[in-house]
Amino acid sequence: MDITIRKLRDTDYPFLKKLYRTTREKELKLTNWNEEQKKSFVEFQFNAQHSHYSTTYNNMDFKIILRHKNPIGRLYLWETENQIRIVDITLLPEFTGKGIGTRILNTLIKQSEQSGKKLNLHVEYYNPALRLYQRLGFKKTDNKGGYFYMERMPGKKE
């Protein structure tokens, strides 16, 4: 499987908006909005999220996940002295369940082990990825507003 990760480029924003829309598609189907209204909503929400990430996580590492050099997802990481936070990992729906996320997470786990930094994230309580995170040794540390905060400490073999 030819999976690579590279830094975000200015030319990636149309892809990122398309990817973001896939995360909101179930909600959009519940509305009676026309396509233009849906596009406006997605644009507004994407911009708000990106701005929030940029201001909340100083020096966040925005990355694009590629398969055969084509963008299929995003990986947003924030690293501090004692942690590596997975702020966001999202794949296009047609690439979920194929081991790509597991492969990326295992790479991050190795990075955590080598650096001695905890690896953490938050996940919606209904997200199917929750089972994957648990299988890889992440433990729930908090429950806030529909999200579980999870972490995996280095040196913890499950």
Give the CATH number of the domain where residue 120 resides.
3.40.630.30
At residue 89, the pLDDT reads 96
| Position 121 pLDDT exceeds 70 | yes
Residue 127 lies in a domain: yes
Residue 78 lies in a domain: yes
Residue 66 lies in a domain: yes
Give the 3-state secondary structure of residue 123. Answer: strand
For residue 15, what are the domain limits? Answer: 3-152
Give 136-139 contacts, CB < 8 A, sequence gap 24+. 136/102, 136/105, 136/106, 136/109, 137/109
Residue 115 lies in a domain: yes
Number of domains forming the structure of the chain = 1
At residue 18, the pLDDT reads 97
Residue 72 lies in a domain: yes
At residue 156, the pLDDT reads 62
Does residue 136 or residue 1 have the better pLDDT? 136
Residue 14 lies in a domain: yes
Residue 117 lies in a domain: yes
Q: Find the mean pLDDT for residues 55-78.
A: 96
Residue 45 lies in a domain: yes
Split at pLDDT 50, 70, 90, the class of 25 is very high
At residue 157, the pLDDT reads 57
Q: Which two tokens stand for residue 98?
A: 């194929």
